[in-house]
Amino acid sequence: MNSSPVRPSRPSVAEIRAVCQPESITDRQSAEHWAGTLWARRASPYITRLAVRTSLTANQTTFAMIAIGLTGSAALLLGGLTGPVLCAIAMQLYLLVDCIDGEIARWKRTSSPRGAYLDRLGHYIVESSIFPTFGYLVGGSWDSGWVSVGLLTSVFALITKAETDLVPWHLHDAENFEYEQMVTPRAWPVRIARAITHPLKIHRWTGAAEATLLILLAAIVTPWWDDANKVLALAFLGIAVALFFGHDWRRCAESQRSGPRVRRSGRSHDPFSWTTVWRRTTEGVHSKRAREESPSAPLRRADRRP
């Protein structure tokens, strides 16, 4: 028998906030977007309140989010100042709808792995579509080399996003493995680089909202600086490449179930590091066994250094 309380068919904004915006969502320091904190999470309950009264599903809303994002990317093809303005507005609406689809799923209790996958896939598609169209805006044609710069930027940005998602999904622990568990890197060059760039939020500059706002800024200053768009296109590529190479050096935090690290030969053995995950994958050892394995147990022969 389902003991979940019956939710009203015509909820108030306060009820939507209580159910659909729990602290686990609004307090995410790494995963919650600044636009969500600034305005989208404040405005979304008013729209969600109307949406849950209809037959609209969370997945249908996610498809609408993808359509809005792709429309914003296509607006860059208009060129001039009009294209970047429409693109920036569309991406803000894209972020708003991104909040709404999750809230609909929580209210209607329809959250599912399929919905999470579709939402993540939508972000991949939309954010990878921005840079090629921006390359068209810079070069003025599809034959321009700037389109190739945009495509290359998309490739590196997508790989970096895949790296972010790879570990929790590989460990089959996505519902418990939070972004806050991704800790600072241990390699000192990466720690220094991150300390310098973190206040500038460089890792977000290739995101949909930030990239389109920067594109809009470049379009505004273009009358006074002809090469603004070209410099920005190269900056996007440089940031994407830097994130790609720097991201791999970050290690995963040990979850509360993983226990302390095992010391071996004076070095720390992180069961969730990229090298360990890859080694265990190639050996055919499932991540569940890696999590359940006692840290104090004798190391297997495959774990010993030559």
User: Using one digit for the tens of pLDDT, what is the confidence trace for 10-57?
Assistant: 888 888 888 888 776 666 555 566 776 777 888 989 999 999 999 999
Residues 62 and 110 sit within 8 Å (Cβ to Cβ): no
Average pLDDT over residues 173-201: 56
Considering the domain boundaries, does residue 109 fall inside one? yes
- Residue 172's contacts (CB-CB under 8 Å, 6 or more residues apart) are 287, 288
Residues 64 and 97 sit within 8 Å (Cβ to Cβ): yes
Considering the domain boundaries, does residue 110 fall inside one? yes
Q: What pTM, to 2 d.p., does this model score? A: 0.72
- Choose the weakest-confidence range: 71-80, 149-158, 178-187, 254-263: 254-263
DSSP 8-state assignment for residue 269: E
Q: Is the pLDDT of residue 120 over 60?
A: yes
Considering the domain boundaries, does residue 287 fall inside one? no
User: Using one digit for the tens of pLDDT, what is the confidence trace for 244-300?
Assistant: 876 655 544 333 334 444 344 444 444 444 444 445 444 444 444 444 454 444 444
Considering the domain boundaries, does residue 155 fall inside one? yes
Q: Within the chain, what is the greatest distance between any pair of CA atoms?
A: 68
Considering the domain boundaries, does residue 206 fall inside one? yes
Considering the domain boundaries, does residue 121 fall inside one? yes
Task: State percent of the chain over pLDDT 90.
Answer: 40
Average pLDDT over residues 228-233: 95
DSSP string, 98-125: HHHHHHHHHHHT---HHHHHHHHHHHHH
Considering the domain boundaries, does residue 279 fall inside one? no
Measure the CA–CA gap between 299 and 306, rounded to whole angstroms. 13
pLDDT band at 163 (very low <50, low <70, confident <90, very high): confident
| Token pair listed for 294 | 């006692």
**What is the number of domains present in the chain?**
1
pLDDT on residue 281: 47
pLDDT on residue 219: 95
Domain harbouring 197, CATH code: 1.20.120.1760
Which residue range forms the structural domain that includes residue 63?
13-247
Residues 151 and 96 sit within 8 Å (Cβ to Cβ): no
Considering the domain boundaries, does residue 257 fall inside one? no
Please give the torsion angle defined by the CA atoms of residues 264, 268, 270 and 275, in that order, rounded to the nearest 10 degrees.
-80
